Amino acid sequence: MIRPARPDDVPAIYRLIRDLAAYERSLPAVTGTQQDLATALFGPEPAVFAHVVDSGDRIAGFALWYLSYSTWQGRQGIYLEDVYVEPDQRGRGYGRRLLTELAALCVERGYGRLEWSVLDWNAPALGFYASLGATAMDEWTVHRLTGQALEALANDRSRHADPNLD
């Protein structure tokens, strides 16, 4: 069963996030805590949303997403941050059903798109997404600021506090 996440799902979702990070060879990059996740999902102003695969005896997968906005379309969309199904649960249609649920939300709410990123070496995921009709945005390159670079740019704000300098 695919359903929206509940607060008692947070430990399972957090476990799956760590499993996904390990698969993507990035486990040390997981610095967020279960409490951070709980606050993001179920705090007073939720920043993200999640759906889970409830297989009856455990949470076997999840999709974590948030709203995006397209200035070109003039509409919101869904950005899928993570989707993961436990390896021993794959082949049962859970991944497809998670994405189907998000696609249905987009259509029902009038959102313009459902998008996500995938590592270029993840051939099984690339093949799966292509089978759904998803297209790669090959002409776009993701850019990211973190750590010291993020702080350095933020610190530039004080240098530009005088509007006469811009």
pLDDT tens-digit profile, the chain (166 residues): 999 999 999 999 999 999 999 999 999 999 999 999 999 999 999 999 999 999 999 999 999 999 999 999 999 999 999 999 999 999 999 999 999 999 999 999 999 999 999 999 999 999 999 999 999 998 888 888 988 999 999 998 877 665 555 5
Is residue 83 included in any domain, yes or no? Answer: yes
Say which CATH number the domain at 88 has.
3.40.630.30
CA gap 63, 49 in Å, rounded: 8
Hey, what amino acid is at 124?
P
What is the reported pLDDT for 166? Answer: 52
Alpha carbons within 13 angstroms on the beta-carbon side of residue 103 total: 9
What is the reported pLDDT for 90? Answer: 93
69 is catalytic: no
What is the reported pLDDT for 158? Answer: 73
pTM, rounded to two decimals? 0.89
Is residue 6 included in any domain, yes or no? Answer: yes
**Cβ–Cβ under 8 Å, residues 54 and 1:** yes
Is residue 166 included in any domain, yes or no? Answer: no
What is the reported pLDDT for 165? Answer: 55
**Residue holding tokens 């990211």?**
144
- For residue 118, give both structure tokens: 């995938």
- The domain tally of the chain equals 1
Is residue 87 included in any domain, yes or no? Answer: yes
**Cβ–Cβ under 8 Å, residues 62 and 53:** yes
**Helix residue ranges, H only, 24-164:** 34-42, 94-109, 123-131, 147-159
Helix (H, G, I), strand (E, B) or coil at 60: strand
Is residue 106 included in any domain, yes or no? Answer: yes
Size of the chain in residues: 166
Domain residues for the domain of 9 are 2-160
Name 26's Cβ contacts closer than 8 Å, sequence gap at least 6. Answer: none
Is residue 124 included in any domain, yes or no? Answer: yes
What is the reported pLDDT for 67? Answer: 97
Which residues does residue 83 pair with via DSSP β-bridges, in sequence order? 63
Is residue 111 included in any domain, yes or no? Answer: yes
Is residue 165 included in any domain, yes or no? Answer: no
Burial of 115-154, coded b for 16+ CB within 10 Å and e otherwise, reads ebebeeeeeeeeebbeeeeeeeeeeeeeeeeeeeeeeeee
